[in-house]
Amino acid sequence: MEDTFSTYHPIINFCYFAVILIISMFFNHPVILGVSLISAIIYAFVLQGWKKVLKFNFLFMLPMLIIVALINPLFNHAGVTILFYLQNGNPITLESIIYGLVMSVMLVQVMIWFSCYNIIMTSDKFIYLFGRIIPALSLIFSMVLRFIPKFKAQLAVISNGQKCIGRDISNGNILMRARHGVTILSIMVTWALENAIETADSMKARGYGLRGRTAFSLYRFDKRDKGMLAMMLVLLMAFITGVVMGNTFVQYNPTIIISGVHPITLSSFFTYFIFGAFCLIPVGVDGLSYLKWKKLEAVIPENKIYHELRVGVEAP
């Protein structure tokens, strides 16, 4: 199924992810982090499928979460609840362990949100928004965002080519494998530099960044975008109201103080609910679009033109 939220105006997509990432990086309240993490995983599942999400989370995110959670108590000894002492005399406190878990969850959910951002906010959308304001920086930023997937694709091409002539990192002894790896790395660095120069020359030849330059764009800010922006502003203002009321206050050192959790008040619950609703906006939009398609399929299942249109929309 095509992601419907990505069809909104680029300013809607950018504002949504900007708000989500700012809240996720600067609010370390456990409920806010939990809601953000669950919402990020759900949206990543919608965009990438459960196989890629599970593979990414269990092979990369879960070990990183454990490592970060274990490293923090070794260097941060703040807290009043001492569990035991290390051989060098430094204490391991309950507060430092919990804070390490909180920081690891924050890091993981921010990375998952960024993976969703890279899918929705393509380079053409980013250049459309910031090409006239900061042309050089926007071009560099868009190149950086697409560098890793392009580098991985080119690395697969080079590796397959080297494997055909017996010079892959899987051929030969340890010394030969290292030499083949250095050769592939040299080829990749040369390709990256040459690709950057070609991109810069191409954009310069097209007059990118010149004053008065116009550019064709398919993006139009219509009524649907206005309605989505209004809903996002209402939810954001309601969440800010809850923040001002102290529903997201948290303290981990020297003692743990978490507001709005023990007990859960109506005001704190409303704040968490509003934030969850904001996080799940794309999932809700995609769900409504999916139900709309299913309803149309039930009404006119034998319409050949409709079937071809449906297949064309869902084709990657």
254: helix, strand or coil: coil
Q: Can you spell out the DSSP letters for 42-93?
A: HHHHHHH-HHHHHHHIIIIIHHHHHHHHHHHHHH----S-EEEE-TTS-EEE
Token pair for 183: 């050769």
Sign, Cα dihedral of 237, 243, 247, 250: positive
- Tell me how far apart the alpha carbons of residues 59 and 56 are, in angstroms, rounded to a whole number: 6
19 near 233, Cβ under 8 Å? Answer: no
Q: Which of 75, 121, 113, 118 is nearest to 97 (CA)?
A: 75
- At 253-309, the pLDDT tens digits run 877 778 777 667 888 899 999 999 999 999 999 988 888 887 777 766 555 555 555
What is the value of pTM for the model shown?
0.72
Q: How far apart are CA 2 and CA 286, in angstroms?
A: 8
Residue 90 CA to residue 73 CA, distance in Å, equals 10
Closest of 106, 190, 147, 138 to residue 14, by C-alpha: 138
**For the chain, domain boundaries:** 5-125+279-314, 133-205
Reading the chain (316 residues) residue by residue, the pLDDT tens digits are: 578 898 899 999 999 999 999 998 888 888 999 999 999 999 988 888 887 777 766 666 777 777 777 777 777 777 777 777 777 777 778 888 888 888 888 888 888 898 888 888 887 787 777 766 766 666 676 666 666 677 778 888 888 888 888 777 777 788 888 888 888 888 888 888 888 788 778 777 777 666 666 666 678 888 999 999 999 999 999 999 999 988 888 888 877 778 777 667 888 899 999 999 999 999 999 988 888 887 777 766 555 555 555 555 454 4
